[in-house]
Amino acid sequence: MKKQKSIGTWICSHNSINLEILKNSKFDWFTIDLEHSAMTLDLCFDIISYLKSSSNKSCFVRMSDLSQSNIKRVLDFGADGIILPMVKNKNEIDNIIDAAHYPPLGSRGTGLFRAQEHGDRLEDYIKESYENTKIIIQIEHIDAIDNFHDFLQYDAINGFIIGPYDLSASLGKPGDFENKKFKNAIEKFESLCLKTKKDMGYHMAFPDSKKLKGLLKSGYNFIGYSTDILLFKTQIDVVNKDISNCV
């Protein structure tokens, strides 16, 4: 099933110059990382406001956990969608949908903030939100793989993204992507997700063009390509090597 391909990156730091460079890059979307960073909700709001007012690229928030209150808050900030870590079962998905959507689909409160233009677009925003609010589930535990067929039954879930390090860790082999159990888990994920219209995603920690091409060839269409910090570190590693070769 042919799906639109998109490549984004994780934002784990707050720097106005870096944001400006990223905004003008080839990335299709950005994910503000609240889980593995020093990012606060205040900084998250500032980044969403900047990106949404100065570009037409999608802006997601990777939540720090499955807290319903924080899901509601970042959506009121104006995020296009949320990425949820370490989801393992249907009960957790039910709670995520409940927090992310207004009645009758969920129980999201109708507060007035940036997303609704402080009340000016409340009715239109609510109507549009049922289709426009994107929910992406991270597949980071073998329990999620075991329950994945059930996950696919939810119309309100737009896609899934593999977190390879945590998934391998749940198998007792952190970082071992050649492990047979890990490969079997990935094969099951791909075989089920490719048959649907839902986005099939993968988060690459380190930039690697060969790996990126391989994922796209395998049918992945929603790829997180490294992070702002690791992209910077990768270039510094190149500079360090150049300096070492010249002195």
- pLDDT tens across 11-68, in order? 999 999 999 999 999 999 999 999 999 999 999 999 999 999 999 999 999 999 999 9
pLDDT over 70, % of the chain: 100
Q: Enter the tokens of residue 208.
A: 């690697």
Q: How far is CA 39 from the centre of its chain?
A: 15
Structural domain boundaries in the chain: 6-246
How is domain 6-246 classified at the CATH fold level? TIM Barrel (3.20.20)
Could you read off the pLDDT of 62-97 as tens digits, one per residue?
A: 999 999 999 999 999 999 999 999 999 999 999 999
pLDDT over 90, % of the chain: 98
- Which residues are registered as beta bridge partners of 134? 81
Cα distance between residue 188 and residue 192, in whole Å: 6
Say yes or no to pLDDT of 1 above 70: no
- pLDDT at 37 (0 to 100): 97
Whether 172 and 195 have beta carbons less than 8 Å apart is answered as: no
Burial of residue 23 (CB within 10 Å: 0-12, 13-18, 19+) is: middle
Tell me which residue of 52, 62, 51, 44 sits closest to 21, measured CA to CA: 51
